[in-house]
Structure 1
Amino acid sequence: MIINTELKQNHNLFPGKVISFSQEEGKVNFLTNNEVILQVTVLKDSVVRFRYATDNNFEKDFSYAIENGSPKEYFDAKVEEHENQYSIHTNTIKITIQKDDLGTTIYDHHDNVICKDDLGFHWEQSYEHGGNIVKMSKHAPLGELYYGLGDKPMHLNLKGKRIENWATDQYAFSKDQDPLYKSIPFYIGMYEQRAYGIFFDNTFRTFFDFCKERRDVTSFWAPGGEMNYYFFHGPNMQDVVTQYTDLTGKPELPPLWALGYHQCKWSYYPEKEVKEITSKFRELKIPCDAIYLDIDYMDGFRCFTWNKEYFPDPKRMVAELAEDGFKTIVIIDPGIKIDKEYWVYKEAIEKDYFCRRADGPLMRGKVWPGECYFPDFTNPEVREWWSDLFKEIIDEIGVKGVWNDMNEPAIMEVPSKTFPDDVRHDYDGQPCSHRKAHNIYGTQMARATYNGVRKFVYPHRPFIITRSAYSGAQRFTSSWMGDNVATWEHLWVANVQMQRMSMSGMSFTGSDIGGFAEHPSGELYARWIQLGVFHPFCRTHSSGDHGDQEPWTFGEEVINITRKFVELRYQLLPYLYTMFWEYAEEGIPMLKPLVLFDQSDSQTHYKTDEFIFGNQILVCPIQEPNSKGRRMFIPKGHWYNYWTREFVKGGMERWVDADIDSIPLFIKEGAIIPKYPIQQYVGEKRIEELRLEVYYKLGNTETSRVYEDAQDGYDYTKGEYSLRSFSLTGKETEVIIEQIVEGNYITEYETIRVECIGLPFTIGKIEVDGVMVPFDTENNTLVIPKVFAKLHLTS
C-alpha cells in the first residue's frame, strides 16, 4: 500500500465534499458530491460502526462475525451541524466528520483525541478482479501502541509490524511468520493510557500496517469488499475486549471435562494402542479426561467412517474408554474423498453441495484421502446436511467431541496451499468468489460441526476444536495454534499466542504442548506442561514422526513434574470454570497480558512472558534451558509466592527461583482461590468439600467469585447454578469474609475448608454468623458450613 500526499490529487480515489446528511433508525448517512456515503451507526455509547460506499449504494448488510448477520441494537445519536463539520455525541464520546472530505476524529468526554483519520477512507478500482481496493489510514501519535490480531507469533506489541490476514496452513511455522491459520481483524490501540479498538469486518485478505511504512500512520486495507469497521472506546483495554466480544459473540459454557487435560498424537491406532495409552495414564495417576483419534481411525481417511481393522467395534471401545473416564474426540476434515461407493460423497454429489469453480466444474484438491471435493459451508443447506452427518459417531457410537483440521481450507501440492480464487461460494445467498469466502470457510465448518454435535450430544454440551477461525468463531468452538515445533522459541511463541488470542476475543485456546513437529527434550516438555496447564485449552499433541510424546517417554522426573502440574490444574478447576463463566457471561478474557491487567503502568506495555490467569494468579513460565529461575516483573500491588507463601511487593523486577519442578507463580493479595480434590478425571469422585485458600490483605475489600453448576447440560441457563461472591476485608487483628450466594443449584458438598495465608496475627477466635467454630491447628484450616453470610477471624 502506498500512502502519500500525491494521492490527494486524484479525486476519484477520495471522498468529495458532503452535500447532505440524513438520519434514520440509529444510522446517520453523509453523502458527498462524488457519491460516496459514510454511514455512522452508534450501537452503544462506546461502540460505533463506520461504513463506506463509493457508488451511492451499500452491499447487503451481512456478517458471519456477528450473530444473526448484523447488529440489531442502535443508539439514537445526537447530530449537530457546524460550519466545517458535523458532530455526533454519545454519553462517552464525540465524533466529528469534516465536510470537505469525510475525515473523522473521535474524542473522549475530556476532549482528548482517541482516534483520528490521516488520509482517512480512500480506494482504488480493482481492474484485475473488479470492485474496490478499500483503504483506511489513521493518524498514529508518537508512543501509540498496538495489540491483538489473533494468532500472530510475534511480540505482543505490534508497533512497527505489517500484518496479513489470510488463513494459511503453515506447518512448522517460525517466529514472526505471517500469515498463519486464523484471521481476526481486530486490534487494540493505546495512547497515554487510553485504549480503543478497531474491528475491520472484511473477510477478504486484509492487511494492517502499524507505523511500519510511515511512523505516524496506522492503516488497514483489503483488495475487495467494503470499508466497514467498528470502533470501541475504552479507555480501559479490558472494556475494549469485552465490547468486541459482546459484538462478535460469547461462547456457551463447555462441559467441565473439556477444561481437563487432553492427550493426542498423530495417530493412536489400533484400539490396542489407544487402550495402552489410557491405561498408562491411570496406572501413573496422571489425570486425563480426553483421548484423541487422528485421521488413521478412518477407513482410507474418509470422514464419518471407521477403519474396522484398527477399530473393529468403535461403539464398544468408546464405551469402555468412557467407563475409565476418557471422553473420545475424533478428527473430521473438510475434504471428502472422490469415491462413488462412499455414502457421504454420494449424498453431496446428489445434492450439489460441493464447491465449484467459476466455469462450472467441481473444485478438486488433494489432501489426506487423495483427490477430494469440498462442501460449501457458506451454504446454510450444506451446514444443515453436514450437522446431520454426526448422528452415528455422536449419538450411536458415543464420541464426545470433534476436532476440525485442515479447514483454512488447506490443499496439498499447490503453491497457494488453498482453493483457487475463482472457486464460487453461496455465502448465505450472496454468491461470491473464494477471495471473499476463504477467511470464513473454517469458521463456517466449525459452526456446522458445532450444530451437529450439539444436536446429537444433547442434553450434554458439545465440545469442538478448530484450527482455522475468523472473528466470531468463539461462539462455536475452541481452537489451537496449529503445527508448532518442539523448540524453546516455540514455547515463547505459544505463550504470546495464547495471550494475544485472549485479547482478540477467543480465550478458549491452547498450543500443542511439547510441540507438534520434531521431538522435545524432557526439560522442554516439562517446562511446556508447566505453561500449558495455565492455558484454557490443555492438550499434548505431536506428529509422532520423531518419537512418542506421552509424559512417561521422558523418564521418571518428567512423569512426576507432569503429574504435579496436571494435578494442580484439576485442583484449580473451580477457579478455571469461574474464569470461563466470566468469559461466557461478561466477555472478560481468561488470560490477561500484563498490559491488559494494568495498562497504567508503562512497564507492562512491552512485557510478553507473564500473564494473569483469570483475575488473581500471576504466571511467568521458564522459557530457557538449564534455568534455575528467572528475573520477572511483579505488577503493582502485593502478591504471595504460591510455593513459598512469601509476601512480595509489586511494581518492580526481581529474581525468582524455579528449578525444573517449579514455575514462578504468584497470587494477588486478598484473593480467595477455590480448589477441588484431585481427581483422575472430572466426575471420578464426589466433591465432598470446597477448599478456599484465603490470601490476607490489609485494607480495602477484595472480591472473589466461585461459579458452579452440574458441570454439563443446560440447566444452568434456567437458574440451576451457584455463584458465590466472597468479599475479604483485612485489619491488623481481624479478617472478615462475607459471602453472597446466587442461583438455585445445590452443590453436592456441605462444607468449605478455609486455609488462611499471610495472617499477621494468630487466630484466637472464629465466628460464623455469630457462632463460634473450632480451628484445626494440625492442618491450619477451619471447616465451616457452605452456607454462611459472615466469617469473622480475630486474634
Structure 2
Amino acid sequence: MLVERPLTNLAPASQQPSDAFKLTNEQGFEWSLSFLTPTIYKITVVGPNHPLPQQSNVHWSNKPLAVSAKVDTGAQKATLSVDGLAHEVTVQFDDTPIVEIHETVEGSNDKVRIFGDNPHKSYCYSETGVTRYTRFNNQNLHIGMGEKAAPLDLTHRSFCISGSDSASYDAYRTDPLYKHTPFLMSLPKPFDADGEPQPLTSVVGIYSASNSDANWDVGRFIDEPWGMFKKYAQHYGGLEEYIILGEQAQQVVTQFSDLVGRPLLVPRDWLGYLASGMGLGESDVPIAQELLSGFPGTCKQHDIPCSAIHLSSGYTVDGEGNRLVFTMNTRRYPDFAELVKTFHKAGIRVTPNIKPYVAQAHPHYQKLYDAGALFTDPNNGNKPVVTRIWSSGIGCTALGSWVDLTSKAGREWWRQGALELCKLGVDSLWNDNNEFLLFDDAFICKNELDGDAKVDGNRTGKPTPVGALGRMTNTELMARESHQALVTQHPDRRPFVLTRSANVGTQKWAASTWSGDNRTSWHNLRGSIAMGLNAQMSLMQSYGNDIGGFAGPLPSPELFVRWIQSGITQPRFCIHSFKPCKEDPTGVKLNNLPWMYPEVVDIIRTTIKRRYELLPFINNLNWRSHLAAEPMNTWLGWNEFAADPNVYSREVLEGFDYWIGHGQLLVAGAYHENELTRRVYLPAAGKEDTKVYYDTHSPFKVYKSGQWVENVSTPLSHFAVFAREGTVVPVGLGKVTITQNEGPATITCSGTKILTEQEGGQCVYDDWRGIEVFPSPVDAKSPSEYTYSWIEDDGVSAKPAVAEFKVDISSSQDEVSVKASATKSDFKPLWGNTLWVILPRADTRKVQGASKTMLYKGQTAYAITVSGL
C-alpha cells in the first residue's frame, strides 16, 4: 500500500537566494518557488531519496527573476513579488506549504483565487515518489494531458500518465493510451454554479516535468475531510512543476512550448494523403516489392493523388515470421533501394517502420547482449530482461529483449541501423512500438546519457531503475537517434520522424505522431475527435488517426467515406490499417485503400483532392504551429469564443465539431450511420459579435453568430463546413505539386528526379494559387475590413527561404476589394504574382480591379496582382 506523508514543519531558509523563495524542514526536504517569467512559476520539492526528476524535456535557459518576499512571521505567510507581476502570489507555511494565486476581476477591485494548493495536504511524499494536491474547481473545464480518451472534458476523470501498446483500444474508455503528457489546463467558464454570468479569469496550466509514470485525478477521487482537490501522484523522484498563466488557453500553450520547445516544422509532402503498404508489404506471392512497385500506377489509374507510403515491418520478417529490425527480407524485397526510387519518381515519399526490440532470433541479439545494450534484471543476477514482444505477426508474441537506448552501445547500434536505412534513400523514419512497457520498475537501464539528453552531472551517469528514470526516456532517445540519422544523411532537408509513443521531450526530435492502433467502428471514429483536440492542445500538433481503423473489420463504404471526410481537415491525413479480411482477385490481402469500394470511389477521390487544394492553407497552419504553437484544430470555445456560454453545453462539449484554423473554418462532420442532416452551433466571440457564417455547401445560406442551425445538410457526398466572415483560405491544385522548377523540391532523398505529368509521372508544378474569400455579406449595414497573411516555402529545406503574403479585404454592396502584397519574398513561388480570388458561390459581386476572370468549379474567379514580387 502506498503511504503518503504530508510535507510539514517547513520554515523559510535562513539564507534565501534572490532567485527563489525556499522553505526547508528538519527531515531534509526543500520546497522552492521561483518565477521564470511573471506568468510561469516553477515549484520544486527535493529531499532524501527524492531527487529532482531526471529529464531533458524542459530547455529553459534564462535565469529566474529576482524574488522579493514580504514575510509575516506571526501568520507564517509570505507575499512574493517580481518585476512585472500582475497577480498576487502568497505562500502559507504554518502547515504544509500552500501557494495561492489571486487576480483582480476586471472592472472591480474584487480578487479571485485562480490557483491554490489544497489546505493541510498540499505536498506529500511516499517512499519513492511525491503527490500533489491542488484545489479543484468543478465548474471549470479541464483539457490537455495529450492523448486521452474521449470526451474532451477531463473533469471528474482519472488517468494513468504512462504509455501502453493499446492495440484495438476503445476511444472512450481505454487508459492509458500511447503517450506520456503530464500537462493539464483549467479553463474558467463565463457563468457560475447557478448559471449566472461572471467575468472570465485566467487559464491555468500545470506541467510536471518528469518521465516517471504517474496518475492524474481531476476531481474524481473524493476524500471529504480534505475538501475538493485534484491529485497528481508521481511514482518516483521529487517534484519539478510549472504553473503557467494566460488570459486565454492559447497563451498557456504557447508558454508551455517556451519551456519544452515549439512543434517541429513538418515537410509539406507529409501534409498530403499518406498511404499504407502493410497489406501489400506482407506478401510472399506475389512478392511484396512487385506489388508495391505497382502502387503508384494504381493511384494514377484511379486519379488519386498520394504523397507518401508507409512500409510496415514486413520488409524485416524472416522465414519464421520474426520481425527483425534493421534486417532485410531480400526474397520479398530483392532491391529495396530500387523500390524507393520507383515511389520517388511518382512523387511518393517513403517511410519504413522500425521497432526498438530484438527477438532472440535476431542476428545481432548476442552482440547487443554482450555489449550491455539490453535492460537487466537485478532480481535475476543482472541478466538481460527477456520478455514477450509482438514479433511473429498480429496476435502472436515471441521471446526477445528491448534495446536499452540509455546505453551508449544501444544508441550506437540504433543510430547505425537507422543511418543504413537512410542510405537506401528513405525520406523518413517511422518509430513504432516504442512504449518500452517493461513490466517491472526495478529493471535497470544504463543511464549513459550524453549531448542533448543529458541534464547535468548530478542526475545522470549511473545505472538506474527504469521506473525512476522513466520508460519513455528511451522513447525520446529513439526519436533523437532517428532524427540525427536523417540529418546526417540529408543535412539540407527537413527531417521527419513519425513516432507512435512520446513523452514531452520526444517532440524535439519527432515532428508527427498518431493515435496508434485504433479499431474500426463509428464509436471510435467519434471518440477520435476529442482525442485529437486534446493532443493538439498539448503540443502534439501534427496528429491524426488511422483512417478507417487499423484493427477490426473493414469499414463499411459509408463509414470509410465519413472517416476520410473528417481526416482531410486534420493535421495528419493517413489511411493506414492491417485488414487481413479482404482479397483482390489475385488473392493478395488488402488493407484500407481509397479505391476498395467502387460505389464511393468518386466521393473519396473528390475528398482527397480537396485536401490537396487546401495544402497552401494547411501548410500555413503548419507554420503557425511551428512559430507560435497554435494547433491546427481546436474546440469551438478556443480563445475569444470562451466567452460564449453555449460552447460549454453538453451537446457541444461531447459533440464532434471543431475549428480548422482558429476562427476560420468550422468543420461539422457526420459521425453516425445514415446521418444526412446535422444540428450545428456557430459560436460567438462575445455579445457584440456581428460576424456571420457561410455554409460553404449551401450557397444562399448565411447565419449569425451565436445560434444553433437545424437541418444542416450532410449527404454522403460531403460533410458540412462553415466559413466565418473574414476568413481567407489559400488554395492550390488538387494534385501532388512540386514547389520549384529545380532544387531540393524536385530531387528526392534517393537522388531521383520527380517526374511531372508531362514526363509521364503523376505530379504537377505548384503554379496556380487562389484564395477563397468570405467578406462581409451583401446586406451588411456596416461592412468590415479584414486582413489575412500566410507563408509559403519550398516545403523541403531544413532552413527554408520563405515568402509572406498579405491580403486586405473590404466590401460594399456592389463589389469586393482585395489588395494583395508580398511582405517578404525570399522564396519565389511558381505561381508568380497572379492570385485568383474566389467569392462565396452565391455572391454575385465583382472583385474590384480584377485583370481577368476564369471559371473555377462552376463559378467566376477574379485575377489580381500581388505587389512586391
Q: Matched residues in 2 for 1:328 and 1:405: separation?
A: 15
> 2:601 is matched with which residue?
559
> 2:839 is matched with which residue?
756
Q: Matched residues in 2 for 1:105 and 1:487: separation?
A: 45
- The alpha carbon displacement at 1:733 in A equals 5.3
Aligned counterpart in structure 2 of residue 335 of structure 1, from 333, 336, 357: 357
Q: Does the alignment pair 1:724 with 2:732?
A: no
Deviation per CA, 1:409-456: give whole Å up to 9, x if none: 25xxxxxxx342221123433532121322333232222212212222
Aligned counterpart in structure 2 of residue 651 of structure 1, from 695, 698, 706: 706
Secondary structure, counterpart of 2:601 in structure 1: helix
Q: Does the alignment pair 1:402 with 2:429?
A: yes
315-324 or 540-549, which moves further after superposition?
540-549
- The alpha carbon displacement at 1:391 in A equals 2.4
> 1:545 is matched with which residue?
580
Q: Does the alignment pair 1:625 with 2:673?
A: yes
> 1:508 is matched with which residue?
542
Cα gap change, 1:17 to 1:421, in 2 (>3 Å) = closer
Which amino acid in the other structure matches residue 836 of structure 2?
Answer: R
Matches within 5 A, 1:362-381: 362-367=384-389, 368=391, 370-379=398-407
> 2:37 is matched with which residue?
44
Q: Matched residues in 1 for 2:63 and 2:264: separation?
A: 21
Q: Matched residues in 2 for 1:226 and 1:628: separation?
A: 54
Matches within 5 A, 1:347-362: 348-349=368-369, 351-358=371-378, 359-362=381-384
Aligned counterpart in structure 2 of residue 435 of structure 1, from 467, 481, 485: 467
Cα gap change, 1:82 to 1:211, in 2 (>3 Å) = same
Secondary structure, counterpart of 2:325 in structure 1: coil
Deviation per CA, 1:257-279: give whole Å up to 9, x if none: 01111111534231122123332
Cα gap change, 1:450 to 1:109, in 2 (>3 Å) = farther
Q: Matched residues in 1 for 2:17 and 2:490: separation?
A: 44
- The alpha carbon displacement at 1:507 in A equals 0.9
- The alpha carbon displacement at 1:380 in A equals 5.8
> 2:64 is matched with which residue?
74
Aligned counterpart in structure 2 of residue 422 of structure 1, from 426, 439, 442: 442
Q: Matched residues in 2 for 1:460 and 1:674: separation?
A: 25
Cα gap change, 1:475 to 1:19, in 2 (>3 Å) = closer
- The alpha carbon displacement at 1:647 in A equals 1.8
- The root-mean-square deviation of aligned C-alpha atoms, in Å, is 2.6
Which amino acid in the other structure matches residue 295 of structure 2?
Answer: I
Q: Matched residues in 1 for 2:307 and 2:157: separation?
A: 40
Q: Does the alignment pair 1:456 with 2:494?
A: no
Which amino acid in the other structure matches residue 27 of structure 1?
Answer: A
Deviation per CA, 1:111-159: give whole Å up to 9, x if none: 3211111145332432xxxx3x311111123412211111111210011
Cα gap change, 1:283 to 1:92, in 2 (>3 Å) = farther
Q: Does the alignment pair 1:667 with 2:689?
A: no
Q: Matched residues in 2 for 1:759 and 1:671: separation?
A: 16
Which amino acid in the other structure matches residue 756 of structure 1?
Answer: L
Q: Matched residues in 2 for 1:23 and 1:36: separation?
A: 15
Cα gap change, 1:487 to 1:760, in 2 (>3 Å) = closer
Q: Matched residues in 1 for 2:309 and 2:845: separation?
A: 48
For the 8 Å contact 2:44–2:240, the answer to whether it is kept is yes
Secondary structure, counterpart of 1:80 in structure 2: strand
Cα gap change, 1:213 to 1:391, in 2 (>3 Å) = closer
Q: Matched residues in 2 for 1:582 and 1:282: separation?
A: 33
For the 8 Å contact 2:808–2:818, the answer to whether it is kept is yes
Q: TM-score, normalised by structure 2?
A: 0.82
> 1:613 is matched with which residue?
660
Q: Matched residues in 1 for 2:803 and 2:310: separation?
A: 32
Cα gap change, 1:272 to 1:628, in 2 (>3 Å) = same
Aligned counterpart in structure 1 of residue 792 of structure 2, from 705, 708, 712: 708
Aligned counterpart in structure 1 of residue 57 of structure 2, from 65, 69, 81: 65
> 1:642 is matched with which residue?
696
Cα gap change, 1:22 to 1:623, in 2 (>3 Å) = farther
Q: Does the alignment pair 1:256 with 2:265?
A: no
Q: Matched residues in 2 for 1:157 and 1:550: separation?
A: 31
> 1:415 is matched with which residue?
none
Cα gap change, 1:394 to 1:27, in 2 (>3 Å) = same
Q: TM-score, normalised by structure 1?
A: 0.90
- The alpha carbon displacement at 1:642 in A equals 1.7
Deviation per CA, 1:452-502: give whole Å up to 9, x if none: 122223322222111111113222221111111110001011111111101
83-92 or 222-231, which moves further after superposition?
83-92
- The alpha carbon displacement at 1:286 in A equals 0.9
Cα gap change, 1:617 to 1:786, in 2 (>3 Å) = same
> 1:413 is matched with which residue?
none
- The alpha carbon displacement at 1:186 in A equals 0.5
> 2:415 is matched with which residue?
387
For the 8 Å contact 2:302–2:595, the answer to whether it is kept is no
Secondary structure, counterpart of 1:268 in structure 2: helix
Cα gap change, 1:35 to 1:618, in 2 (>3 Å) = same
Q: Does the alignment pair 1:579 with 2:603?
A: no
- The alpha carbon displacement at 1:403 in A equals 1.2
Q: Matched residues in 1 for 2:408 and 2:679: separation?
A: 53
Matches within 5 A, 1:126-141: 126=127, 131=128, 133-141=129-137
Q: Matched residues in 2 for 1:145 and 1:97: separation?
A: 26
For the 8 Å contact 1:409–1:419, the answer to whether it is kept is no
Q: Matched residues in 2 for 1:735 and 1:678: separation?
A: 26
Q: Matched residues in 1 for 2:241 and 2:521: separation?
A: 38
Secondary structure, counterpart of 1:386 in structure 2: helix
Q: Does the alignment pair 1:145 with 2:141?
A: yes
Cα gap change, 1:346 to 1:95, in 2 (>3 Å) = same
Cα gap change, 1:176 to 1:61, in 2 (>3 Å) = closer
> 1:781 is matched with which residue?
861
For the 8 Å contact 2:816–2:845, the answer to whether it is kept is no
Q: Matched residues in 1 for 2:725 and 2:428: separation?
A: 38
Which amino acid in the other structure matches residue 823 of structure 2?
Answer: V
- The alpha carbon displacement at 1:309 in A equals 0.7
> 1:198 is matched with which residue?
206
Q: Matched residues in 2 for 1:653 and 1:404: separation?
A: 43
- The alpha carbon displacement at 1:759 in A equals 8.8
For the 8 Å contact 1:165–1:185, the answer to whether it is kept is yes
Which amino acid in the other structure matches residue 205 of structure 1?
Answer: D
> 1:207 is matched with which residue?
215
Q: Matched residues in 1 for 2:844 and 2:314: separation?
A: 61
For the 8 Å contact 2:355–2:434, the answer to whether it is kept is yes
For the 8 Å contact 1:647–1:758, the answer to whether it is kept is no
Cα gap change, 1:381 to 1:389, in 2 (>3 Å) = same
595-604 or 74-83, which moves further after superposition?
74-83
Secondary structure, counterpart of 2:848 in structure 1: strand
> 1:158 is matched with which residue?
154
357-366 or 20-29, which moves further after superposition?
20-29
> 1:481 is matched with which residue?
515
> 2:8 is matched with which residue?
15
Which amino acid in the other structure matches residue 624 of structure 1?
Answer: H
For the 8 Å contact 2:52–2:237, the answer to whether it is kept is no
For the 8 Å contact 2:53–2:240, the answer to whether it is kept is no
Secondary structure, counterpart of 2:769 in structure 1: strand
> 1:314 is matched with which residue?
336
Cα gap change, 1:265 to 1:497, in 2 (>3 Å) = farther
Which amino acid in the other structure matches residue 371 of structure 1?
Answer: L
The count of corresponding residues between Structure 1 and Structure 2 is 756
